Amino acid sequence: MKAANSSRSKSEISFIVNGDRKTMRVHPMERLLDVLRQELGLTGAKEGCGEGECGSCSVLLDGILVNSCLIPVLQAKDSVILTIEGLAGIAELNCLQEAFLECGGAQCGICTPGMILAASYLLQHKPQATMEDIREGLSGNLCRCTGYSQIFEAVAEASRRKATA
């Protein structure tokens, strides 16, 4: 349960999410996570801890990996946001998602959207990520199911496939 300002003065905020421009009236200190989930119905970003520790709420904000639970929505004004829902087409999975499916990178699935966005951000910056890069790049995304090893395999596999594609 998260309380924001109870005298909830709202302002108009607009940004582009997954390619669509969205404009809404929200309290400027509302968390981006809540706006995505409640106002826009984009429930792929999850709340695991509410304090930037678990990474389940990861999204890309102007191409940068962030924890959306730590972003007051006013700081997302006029930005371009990518959530898990916008990562691939409706029917197909992208290369990372395919690799996660094959390698067992998703178990309960609650950390998965954040993990995939973090991995995607990593591979964008380090296409030939080493195991050390992968471990570091995902260290802000907690997973309690896998022990991470099959996630590492999936990211390494996606990196290989991208290199040979």
Give, as ranges, the residues between 105 and 124 that touch other proteins (CB under 8 A): 106-113, 116, 118, 121-122
SS3 (DSSP) at 76: helix
Residue 97 Cβ vs other proteins, minimum distance, rounded to whole Å: 4
Residue 3 Cβ vs other proteins, minimum distance, rounded to whole Å: 3
58 binds other proteins (CB under 8 A): yes
CB-count exposure of residue 63 (10 Å: 0-12, 13-18, 19+): exposed
Name which of 100, 163, 85 is nearest 126 in CA terms: 163
User: Considering only residues 19-38, where is the footprint of other proteins by CB under 8 A?
Assistant: 29, 31, 37
17 binds other proteins (CB under 8 A): no
Q: Which tokens sit at 15?
A: 């940004």
> Do strands 80-82 and 20-26 pair parallel, antiparallel, or not at all (unpaired)?
unpaired
82 binds other proteins (CB under 8 A): no
